[in-house]
Amino acid sequence: MFDKDFIFGVATASFQIEGSLDADGRCKSIWDTFTENKKNILDGSDASKCSDSYLRYKEDVKLIKELGVDAYRFSIAWPRVIDENNKPNKKGIRYYVNLCKELIKKNIKPIVTLYHWDLPQWLEDKGGFLNDEISNYFEYYVDVITKALDGLVTDYITINEPQCIIYTSHVACVFAPGTKYSDKEILKAVHNLLLCHGKAVKVIRRNVKNSTVGIAPCSRPIIPFDKNNKLLEQKCYEKYFECKKEGEYANLVSIYSDPIFLGDYPKSYYEDFKDILPNITKEDLELIHQPLDYLYQNFYSGTYYNFDEAGNLKQEPFYPGFPEGNIDWLQVVPEALYYGPKFLYQRYKTPIIISENGFCDNDFVSLDGKVHDPGRVDYLKRYLMEFERVSKEIEVKGYFVWSLFDNFEWNSGLRKRFGLVYVDYRTGDRIKKDSFKEYKNIIKKRGV
């Protein structure tokens, strides 16, 4: 059982659920542009409807209420709130005000993500995260929306998964805008992104009384294959926080979380990149390193490591037929919710909230008219049991399932389903899956 002030929640993101992409003066985001090229999306689909949440938000809130969660994590679409002339868009803002009022009326705490990847296209046209002005634009947007939500929202997450914003979009190039960055550009973009975070924190603290603020990176924890080997655990910890040029440094933890929570980039960063460092000032580092209430983290899977015969750390491969979801990176590794939070807390000493955890499957409507998803039910229980185990050892404050709805799964389009609620994309209609009922039960018992 979790403590009684532990927060159970469910999460979504604007572009993945809202639809109505042309409504009320919303301007284009980089994901609108990216989906226009059908080759970028697994099934050639787009996000023009999804669960139709821009129009059906009152129904959404009823579902959330029925689920029994304490909090709803959703994101705000920058392109709805700010127009192409960088002026507030009243109609777009009103949607989020209405949504928050509806949640509060039903006693559900709104947790707002300020940036979940839908960068206005007109800002990408000005250079996106390579433009040194980007953090000023972000600061302005955050000022507008926090003032508009004054009295309604106290809990903010500045940025969702900086790793995807830089690595997946500009190194792997499979997310919007999909343009390749050089190492030098990556470092500059990372720094600008961290400045966006820092400036946002300042604005939130100034505008919002009793605020709580955090950021939500993602990571794939390094799991010791032998649980009783303390030296192996220590080596896994070190690998998890590694930052070196020949690694996937922009997809890992420390290049973002060290400056934010420890006040500086890792030592190896300055060594490995000494010829291509961006301009980093003392003031920048102070701005980036402001106290945060929570370290949110999105966890889905993990990777096992062991010692080889020479005593070096090596990845332990997944055996053929290893349990997995219906998306290639989602092996079922429940210990991710034990070692991930443990390692993060050990290094950053900040209370942990799991801001996303969930399962992808090929769900469909059965003959009985229901949607049965035993894989997701089992996944949630296994992961929550591990999280409960670590909650006895470190400070954990909450857990959010990804996702309330089946939704637009970025480059996988509508083909990959993560919801507790099934969506018929022809109509936007919804059917509660078995996992919805199971999670509801878990929340009632405050544990698995």
Active-site residue set: 161, 356
Distance CA 226, CA 231 (A): 10
With CB under 6 A as the contact rule, the residue among 270, 322, 329, 364 that binds ligand GBH is 329
Number of residues interacting with ligand GBH: please give it, by CB under 6 A: 15
Tokens matching residue 93: 């803002």
Residue with Cβ nearer ligand GBH (88 or 178):
178
Fill in the per-residue mask, 206 to 225: x = in contact with ligand GBH (CB under 6 A), - = not in contact: ------------x-------
Any residues with CB less than 8 A from the CB of 277 and at least 6 apart, and which? 187, 270
CB of 317 to ligand GBH, least distance (A): 17
Distance CA 333, CA 317 (A): 13
Q: Where is 110: in which H helix or E strand?
A: strand 109-115
With CB under 6 A as the contact rule, the residue among 298, 350, 357, 391 that binds ligand GBH is 298
With CB under 6 A as the contact rule, the residue among 45, 168, 219, 350 that binds ligand GBH is 168
CB of 446 to ligand GBH, least distance (A): 25
User: Cα–Cα–Cα angle for 222, 259, 29, nearest 5°?
Assistant: 85
CB of 346 to ligand GBH, least distance (A): 23
Q: Is 356 in the site for ligand GBH (CB under 6 A)?
A: yes
In 3D space, the residue among 60, 43, 42, 50 whose CA is nearest the CA of residue 19 turns out to be 50
Residue with Cβ nearer ligand GBH (43 or 133):
43
Distance CA 112, CA 95 (A): 14
With CB under 6 A as the contact rule, the residue among 7, 10, 13, 208 that binds ligand GBH is 13
CB of 298 to ligand GBH, least distance (A): 5
The residue assigned the tokens 């550009």 is 185
Q: Is 402 in the site for ligand GBH (CB under 6 A)?
A: yes
In 3D space, the residue among 224, 246, 240 whose CA is nearest the CA of residue 297 turns out to be 240
Beta 352-356 vs 396-402: how paired, if at all?
A: parallel
Q: Is 160 in the site for ligand GBH (CB under 6 A)?
A: yes
Fill in the per-residue mask, 189 to 208: x = in contact with ligand GBH (CB under 6 A), - = not in contact: --------------------
For residue 177, whether the previous peptide bond is cis, meaning omega lies within 30 degrees of 0, is yes
Tokens matching residue 297: 């983290």
Could you tell me which stretch among 160-168, 252-260, 392-400, 427-435 binds ligand GBH (CB under 6 A)? 160-168
> Which residues lie across from 305 on neighbouring strands?
224, 315
Give contact residues for ligand GBH (rule: CB under 6 A).
13, 160-161, 164, 168, 172, 174, 218, 298, 300, 329, 356, 402, 409, 418
